[in-house]
Amino acid sequence: MSKNKARSKALHQTFSEIIPEMDKALNKQLLEVLMKYTERDNELIVILNEDGPNIIELKSLKPVSLLAEKLSAYSSYYHVDVVELVVKKIDFEGAYKLLKASPDVPLFKSLNELDKYLVEEFEKYGLNSFLDVDNLDYSLEKASELKNEQLINWVSDIICKREKLTLRKRFDVAVKAHYENVEKMYDTIRPLMKKLGFPEDLMTHTFSELSVFETKGWDHAIKSKIETLAKRETQYLDDAAKAENRRLVTEKLENSLAIAPTKPTRNWLHIAGIACLVVCTFMYVTNKFI
């Protein structure tokens, strides 16, 4: 059995229990319309009246005026959660408030995924005629001019999620970048961590220290890279320690060489004097016995 068929049958059964007096014709029509709207994970407003069942998808940028179009003196309203398979009777005011809610913007792993979603949603709701998918700030300004609260909240949510994804991308690039030393790495990485909501009181800890901390509440981008940062930090510190040792050895050697030339001069003169004495003695002895 397909997902939407199973969902529609379960919801239809719930409606039958809530409205046992529903006539057969309306009952059949309700099952048919439920089949059309239960494929996606969504919430619905179901309107039942003498014209039959009508369904409006929630959180989908549908205009509130749709509710007025479906309105009649004998309408009854139901809030349906397709995922939880819950049906709840509501009044017109409740339906109006639900329909004003902005669509939930899904979570995305990359900017490419978000951009693809935007293009699809703009085409789906015909937003390209007055908004610009490539300029969200302009789109937010136009939504404000139209005084469309639902659209304002939706575009604002997208802008926030886009900024967060952009920050995560910058952070990922910064983690992989080359630095002259560990301080340069701190100066680049820590400000990005702060923008990603990292706790201020932990900011001065080394990455090695942070790698053993509880990561609850940290942004996923930081959680997934803290081990890498700790390893890079250790490598930079090791390199710095080795460089300092080399500097000390070189400095000591240079000091030794600066002192060394005076001693060989004295030793050479001493050896030369002895050699001269030996030669003179040898010549004296040789001449004496010839």
Question: What is the average pLDDT value for the chain, to the nearest integer?
Answer: 84
Rounded average pLDDT over 98-122: 87
Ranking 31-35, 60-64, 264-268 by mean pLDDT, the lowest is 264-268
Rounded average pLDDT over 65-75: 65
Is residue 158 pLDDT above 50, yes or no? yes
215 φψ region: left (φ > 0), alpha (ψ -120 to 50), beta (else): alpha
pLDDT at position 285: 44
Ranking 115-124, 184-193, 207-216, 256-265 by mean pLDDT, the lowest is 256-265
Is residue 251 pLDDT above 90, yes or no? no
Closest CA to 18 of 88, 90, 84: 88
198 — phi, psi (to 5°)?
Answer: -70, 140
Closest CA to 128 of 142, 108, 107: 142
pLDDT at position 4: 76
pLDDT at position 185: 96
**Banded model confidence at residue 269, pLDDT cuts 50, 70, 90:** low
pLDDT at position 176: 95
Q: Which two tokens stand for residue 285?
A: 């002895």
**Banded model confidence at residue 62, pLDDT cuts 50, 70, 90:** low
CA 20 to centroid of chain Cα atoms = 49
Closest CA to 158 of 102, 198, 197, 196: 102
**Contacts for 9 with CB less than 8 Å, ≥ 6 apart:** 31
Rounded average pLDDT over 246-262: 79
Ranking 41-50, 83-92, 263-272 by mean pLDDT, the lowest is 263-272
The ranges assigned to domains in the chain are 3-100, 111-210, 262-290
**Banded model confidence at residue 172, pLDDT cuts 50, 70, 90:** very high
User: What one-letter code names the amino acid at 178?
Assistant: H
